[in-house]
Structures are given as structure tokens and as C-alpha cells.
Amino acid sequence: MKKWSFKCLLLSLGLLFITSQEETKAAEETQLYGLKDSAPIEEIIKTLEKKSLEYNFIEEIQMLSVEGDTSNHALDIYDSFIEWSGPEQVIEVETKTAMVPQAIKEKTASLYDSWRWDINRVTNNGASYGIEKGNHTVKVAVVDSGIDFNHPDLASNIVDPGKSFVPGITTTQDYLGHGTMVAGIIAANGNLQGIAPNVGLVPYKVFHTDVADSMWIIEAIVEAAKDDMDVINLSLGTYKSLKNKEDQAVIKAYQRAAKFAINEGSIIIASAGTDGYNMSNPKDLSEQLGEPNDVQIHLPGGGLSDVVTVSATNNLDQLAFYSNFGPQVNIAAPAGDYGEDYKTLGNIKLEAMTITTYPLNIPQSELSQYAGFEHGYEFMIGTSLAAPKVSAVAALIIAEYQEKYNKKPSVNQIKKYLYEGVSKVSAPRNEVGAGIVNAYGSLKTIKEEK
């Protein structure tokens, strides 16, 4: 079974999650259906209720999930109204850990500003703050594991408690860590300062522990668009087969959700993936995945034409060793790596990594303590931290455009400003797309246009 996973490397955090057989079985017993516009919805729902089957219907994209439909025959009599169907698939957190090298077991500077090379690169050493820092009328949906409401760098910018799509979980407080890391890149405003330190954040929780259903993420995308979220950040990803019928159902569901969001005026930013794969050709990608007889894509980043796909670069403005790449990449953002000597000598260079916010309710890592950080800040790398940098710049573009023209820019206009404002680097286009995102460059373009 294909798995979803966070595309971020979690260093020295001791987080390793196991998918329970019960959770996997529950997902397999749920069927997804893409219904035609002509489908008799009320009649179908009555049929499901008579069979005592639990269901969830997303009207905006005509998508239905049915729990307990192990035979996949619950809607046989309505087959002519079904465009596609397939079983639900488990989405899983995948983490990689590393030991703290002896060479860095010493106190380093505790001044947070000295570690923010990635933010400086995107903001032109803070120059973009002089043009625009964002405001709470512009909101970014963080579709993730929630956000730590108690984090002093984030609390003032969480403008709405959002919503949880995890069954049985009503809170959007982050108990996993990933969503808080993403949020800090976007709008931290304290010891750390994000790229858009005054923009509004709203958590849409789809992960509580290690797994999520595709349906939860699809629902979150649709709900965020209905809630008028300006930007939807998706720092997650998986690989899906273009030949496998089950995978095709999930792909089509995401296509519907993405198209709905774009039509509602929400721009979707997604990570390219953290496996170092070339996504140029689905057949070749499958071979890299160890499945030479298949044809696969990375989803949502890279696999959905409606989303902005983001790769990760290092502190030398080169493609990070772990970042996926290919012509599907639209733009890049700095997200760090282990330094230039890591591959040849195995040496980890802290200065090449990035730092971000982390929940106060999760124990501080050994690495963070050695660096002298307070509880609530961690070293991190990954395309999960590249995507939110682009989301933050998109939010700034919207804020600046609204202030100048008294209206919101279209999704295509936002993309235009993103791509025109980039920092050009020597890395090829299939690695960094238009270039490395640059808030100052994009804002300056808006400010100076007649």
C-alpha cells in the first residue's frame, strides 16, 4: 500500500511512529467515490443509511467516502452515476533520525538571528520587512498536525482555531510538531521572525499522531478554500501509480479538491518531496522507487498542475541533496542540508541547517539543547520547510497588492509575482524552477509597477 508522509527530516527528535494494523485496516474498509453532477445524492444517502453504513459527502467536489464498505458493492445500483472509485489509503508520517555528532557537542551561540540564513536569503536580509510584513486579513491555512497555541512566537498570529479533520480529535493543538515548524517559517514573531511575521495563521489538522486518511486532507483543502484562506500550505507528499486503479481514485480526488480551491481564489503551495528523486519521467521515477514495472508520480507537489511545487536549496544556493526535482518544480526555497562535507566525509555542519519553532508540549531535543536554544526551537531541514517560505511570500504579495489596488490578486497574478521576483542562480531549471523565492524581489515588483 502506498503511504503518505511528511517530507521533512526530523533530526535527533526521537520521533518514530508505527502504523497500527487497526488503522490500516480501517482505511482499507473505506471506499472513495467520485460522483457525477447528475448523481441522486439524497437517494444515495438514504440507501447508505438503510445499510447502516457511515459516510461523508463533500458536496463541493461531489466526493463520497463510505466506511465499512468492504465488498465495494454498496453503490452498485448507482454505478452509472460514479466516475471513479477506490479504497481509502493511509497517510503516514515518515521520519528520519540522526545521532548528534561528537564534534558539535559543545555550546554554540544562542542568538537566534545568527541561525536564520534561510530567512535572510528570502527577505534580502530583512529588506522585505520594510515593504510588507503582512496583516491578519491575509490568512495562510496550515494543513498539517496543528499549531502550538502556546508558543510565544506564534500565539499572536493564530487568528482562528481552525478545524480538526481527525475523527475523535476536536483540538487543533499540535502534539506532533510538524505543523508548528511550518507555521514558524511563515509567521513567527518573537525570538524567531518568519518571512511574513504579521500574517494570519489558521490550522487545519489532518495529523494527530502518525497517520491520516486521504479524505481528511481533501476535506481540509476544500474547507480552507470555503473559509476564504488566501494560501493553503501542503508540506506533505506521497507517490501514486498512474496504472493502479486504487491510486487513480486518490489522484482524481486530489485533482478535484485542488481545482475547487483555485476556483475559490486560494493558491496551493506544496513540497516537492524529500527523497532526492528525479520526477521528470513517471517510468523512471518508479524505477527509482524500486518498482520498474510501474508508472508513478509524486503528489500533490509535482503531480497536480494546479499547485505550486517547491524544491529545497542549501546555503550554497544549490539543490539540497534530499530534494526531489524535475520539470514539475515551479520554484525553490532555502531549507538547508547537512553541509558540503556530509556526503563525502559524513560531517554535519550546523550552520548549513535551519531552525524553526517547535511545540512546548514536546520534549526538547538534545541537539537543540547543545546549541543553547530555549525550549521551543529546533534544527531542521526538508522540503517541508521550503514550501512554507513560498506560502509566506505569496501571503505578502496578496497583502501588498491589496494595499495598492484595493483588491485581491488572482492566483495567476500571485504566481506571476512569485516567479518574477526570484533570485536567479546557476542551478538548472529542473532543480529550482524559476529560481529561489525572494520576498523583496516580488514586493518590489508590485511596489514599482505603474
- Tell me the catalytic residues: 144, 178, 384
For the beta carbon of residue 126, count every other beta carbon within 10 angstroms: 14
State the Cα angle at 8 between 6 and 14, rounded to 5°.
95
Percentages helix, strand, coil for the chain (3-state, rounded to 5) are: 35, 20, 45
**For residues 142 and 425, what is the distance between their CA atoms, to the nearest angstrom?**
29
Burial annotation 244-281 (CB, 10 A radius, 16+ → b, else e): bebbbbbbbbbbbbbebbbebbbbbbbbbbbbebebee
Q: What strand order describes the sheet that includes 90-92?
A: 211-213, 90-92, 4-5, 237-241, 296-299
SS3 assignment, position 288:
helix
Amino acid at position 4, single letter: W
**For residues 388 and 270, what is the distance between their CA atoms, to the nearest angstrom?**
8
Spatial CA neighbour of 118 closest among 7, 191, 195, 8: 195
CA-CA-CA-CA torsion sign (46, 48, 52, 56): negative
Q: Do 302 and 236 form a contact (C-beta atoms < 8 A)?
A: no
C-alpha cell recorded at residue 41: 445524492
Spatial CA neighbour of 339 closest among 364, 360, 321: 321
- How would DSSP label each residue in 391-416? HHHHHHHHHHHHHHHSSPPPHHHHHH
Residue whose cell numbers read 468492504:
70
* Alpha carbon distances (Å) from 403 to 72, 148, 387, 398, 444: 52, 30, 25, 9, 14
In sequence order, the 6+-apart residues with CB closer than 8 A to the CB of 369 are none
